[in-house]
Copies of this chain bind each other. A is one copy, B any other.
Amino acid sequence: MSAFDDLLAFQRQTEALSSIAERLGWDQETVMPRGATEQRAEEMAAIEAVLHERRTDPRLGEWLDQAEPEDDEDRRIIELISRDFHRASKIPARLATELARQTSLAQGVWADARANDAPADFLPVLSDILMLKREEASLLADGGDLYDALLEDYEPGATQAQIANLFDAMRPRLVALREEVLGADFQPQPLNGHYAQEPQLRLARICASAFGYDWSRGRMDIAVHPFSSGRWQDSRITTRVVETDPFNCLYSTIHEVGHSSYELGIDSDYAFTPLGRGVSMGAHESQSRIYENQIGRSRAFTGWLHQRMSDSFDSLSVADAEAFYATVNRVTPGFIRTEADEVQYNLHIMLRFDLERDLISGRLDTTDLVEAWNARFLKDFGVAVDRPANGVLQDVHWAVGLFGYFPTYALGNVYAGCLHRALRQAVPDLDQSLALGDASPAVEWLRENVQRHGGLYRPRDLIEQATGEAVSEAPLLDYLEEKFGDIYRL
């Protein structure tokens, strides 16, 4: 066996173990008995310790030095393993294990605090996690920027300066559009009525199938915060049901189908290698967002969905497909990021981006976080947060240590904008299929141009190769202005 073969064989087992850890996370958030939190924390800590030991195994260093790549795939595999090895080697096992244990425990604390609207129950735990993450960041940063060091885990190659510039470029046009839309004479009807859980879930399954979700390699469950989980032959989605808002369930489902389809769409030859995963969270989010928004909230697809909803629910309050399209895309003041419309979504991200940069840098203390959140929300959205579950407690990310993750959502939107422009050029008659509830021409284009490559190309290169153009916020903003200008008759 060559050094490269040894490296691959070792990595294969590491990938399998990391896939197990992900499956445990799924279990915890969907089916695990509520009394098992301490046990699960021990289990997560144990497997994290094993993973850490493997990621820092000195043999990796030797194999990496000696490996002789034969092609670009080999070279990229070596690059990715090497990156992880050097990053992991900076983190002592104690810290890795402690982070796994604390973030596993914190999930339950966060969920309870959110249910009870009691941030004081959660903030001390968050403070502990923040301390650990700051320690991790400073070990990773090696004197460089702490936040950039964390960002690297989710969007390799990106920096906070780059993202801040991007957000600065996006903000004025988004704010202007938001004001025009909220002040427009025409306002879409809200969706009224009550929508029972069972038909919502049935329709969610139909939507997942419309986007080609492979049920033989996945399943759908209910979770507080919808997520997708897993790779290769087993990528599961979750959704949630709000009986007054069926769009929550349906579009969460389509969103998570986007994530899972990316993982399931990767070339199966890449399974159990570092190429067998989505290349970054931004790239991932580009898939979930284009599924959900540019395709799922298009006039053509909502036309089909309107028919299906009329069939599924007696009480559908919007009778006409064109009015329904406006309802689906209705822009209203709201507290919750995951329920935000396309116009305001990125403004939610910018709020979190700035707050978490301040938390990591130490400019903001967790004791002042509620106040900081509420003040910033009022400033950006013109509404006072009514309760912590609608404010700082709404997202699980910080509880599980995901600092640096939020901006990848907005980056994903930008990538989705680029991809959507190219997709529409490549498949000019896409709307004809969407109007029949068939997203397969879009899914196939995305699989061919993005998904199948897995981790082969760097994130920006992946998008630029797929679109033939440099990544830019312009396609997304052009699309938003055109779409919402049309809907709101601006």
B residues near A218, Cβ cutoff 8 Å = 33
- Selecting from A17-25, A288-296, A353-361, A378-386, the interface stretch reads A17-25
Cross-interface CB contact of A216 among B33, B50, B214, B271, cutoff 8 Å: B33
A364 to B41 alpha-carbon distance, docked (Å): 47
A233 to B105 alpha-carbon distance, docked (Å): 14
Cross-interface CB contact of A39 among B37, B42, B234, cutoff 8 Å: B234
B residues near A34, Cβ cutoff 8 Å = 216
Are A20 and B24 neighbours in the complex by a CB distance under 8 Å?
yes
- From residue A7, how far is it (CB to closest CB) to chain B in Å? 16
Identify which of A13, A46, A219 gathers the most chain B CB atoms within 10 Å of its CB. Answer: A46
Task: Verify if A236 is at the interface (C-beta below 8 Å from B).
Answer: yes
Cross-interface CB contact of A33 among B16, B45, B234, B272, cutoff 8 Å: B234
Task: Verify if A313 is at the interface (C-beta below 8 Å from B).
Answer: no
Knowing A20-B46, A46-B13, say if A35 contacts B219 (CB, 8 Å). no
Are A40 and B234 neighbours in the complex by a CB distance under 8 Å?
yes
A19 to B20 alpha-carbon distance, docked (Å): 12
B residues near A214, Cβ cutoff 8 Å = 35
Task: Verify if A86 is at the interface (C-beta below 8 Å from B).
Answer: no
- From residue A63, how far is it (CB to closest CB) to chain B in Å? 18
Nearest B residue to A234 by beta-carbon distance?
B36
Knowing A24-B23, A42-B272, A272-B42, say if A233 contacts B36 (CB, 8 Å). yes
Knowing A27-B27, A232-B39, A234-B39, say if A217 contacts B16 (CB, 8 Å). no
Task: Verify if A47 is at the interface (C-beta below 8 Å from B).
Answer: yes
Are A16 and B46 neighbours in the complex by a CB distance under 8 Å?
yes
Q: Which A391-414 residues have a C-beta within 8 angstroms of B?
A: none
Contact with B along A36-57 (1 / 0, CB 8 A): 1111101101110110000000
Are A20 and B47 neighbours in the complex by a CB distance under 8 Å?
yes
B residues near A36, Cβ cutoff 8 Å = 217, 232-234
Nearest B residue to A264 by beta-carbon distance?
B35
B residues near A271, Cβ cutoff 8 Å = 39
Are A39 and B233 neighbours in the complex by a CB distance under 8 Å?
yes
Knowing A39-B19, A39-B232, say if A13 contacts B49 (CB, 8 Å). yes
Task: Verify if A215 is at the interface (C-beta below 8 Å from B).
Answer: yes
Task: Verify if A161 is at the interface (C-beta below 8 Å from B).
Answer: no
Task: Verify if A319 is at the interface (C-beta below 8 Å from B).
Answer: no
Nearest B residue to A49 by beta-carbon distance?
B13
Nearest B residue to A20 by beta-carbon distance?
B43
Are A31 and B216 neighbours in the complex by a CB distance under 8 Å?
no
Task: Verify if A32 is at the interface (C-beta below 8 Å from B).
Answer: yes
Would you list the 8 A-B pairs with minimal beta carbon distance, nearest first? A16-B46, A36-B234, A35-B216, A39-B233, A36-B233, A35-B217, A13-B46, A16-B43
Could you show 10 A-B contacts with beta carbons less than 8 Å apart?
A17-B47, A17-B50, A20-B47, A23-B43, A27-B27, A33-B217, A33-B233, A35-B214, A35-B216, A42-B272
